[in-house]
Amino acid sequence: MWCYVVHVMSESQTAADDRTETNRFDAQTTDSLAVTDLREGDRIDPALVAQTMDLLGETRSSQPDAPTLQLAVATITHGLDDVHTAVLVDGETGVMARCSRHDSQAAWSQQEADWKVHDIGDTPTVVDAEWDGADYDDADAEATTWAEVVLGERAHGHDDYEDEIEVDGRTIKMRNPWECETATGTLQLE
C-alpha cells in the first residue's frame, strides 16, 4: 500500500524568490503584480503595462472587470519600432525591470508580443558612458548618478524630471533638454 503526502504551500512560501520556472502574467488571471514578483525570463501581458507614468493604477477600459495598469514604462519607446525595450516600474517598491517586446503588428505570436524580463534591480548602473556636450573626469559615475536620480524617482511613482531616457537592448541614452547634455552607455540593474 502506497501513502502519498501532499504539502500545501501558502502564498508567502511560493514567493517569486523560490521559483525556478518562468511565468506569464496576463490581464485575465493576474490580480496584482509588482516588479518584485518577476524573474528573468518572465513574460508580462502588455495590457498590464501603462505606456506613461500618469496612467499607473488606471484601467485601459471602462469595463468593471478591466485590469488595473500595475506597471509603467519609465523610458521612451517609439511606436514605429518593431521591437521595444524599456525599463518598467511599479511605482511603489523602487524596483525596475529591463524588458523588451515586439510591437503587436510585428509579433508572430503572443509570446513575442509580451514584455520579456531581462534584468531586475533597484539600482541602475551605467558603464562605458560617453558624453556629448559635457566633459567629466568620471563619465560612468556621472551617468550612473543621473540614471539613479531619474529612474529612481520614476520607480517610486514620481515623474518630476523631464529628462529623456531611451533603452535599446542594454544601451541607455539619456538626454537633458535643459542643459543640452547627452550620455550613452550600457545599463545594468543591480
- Where exactly are the structural domains of the chain? 22-121, 124-189
What pairs with residue 85 in β-bridges? 100
Q: Which of 123, 146, 124 minimizes the C-alpha distance to 134?
A: 146
Name the pTM for this structure: 0.83
- pLDDT exceeds cutoff 80 at 8: no
Contact by Cβ (8 Å): 35, 96:
yes
Instruction: Classify burial at 144, counting beta carbons within 10 Å of its beta carbon; exposed 0-12, middle 13-18, buried 19 or more.
Output: buried
Mean pLDDT of the chain: 83
- What pLDDT, on a 0 to 100 scale, did the predictor assign at position 108? 87
What pairs with residue 171 in β-bridges? 168, 186
- What pLDDT, on a 0 to 100 scale, did the predictor assign at position 17? 59
- What pLDDT, on a 0 to 100 scale, did the predictor assign at position 177? 75
At 57-115, the pLDDT tens digits run: 888 777 777 778 889 999 988 766 788 899 999 888 889 999 999 887 777 888 888 99
At 38-48, the pLDDT tens digits run: 999 999 999 89
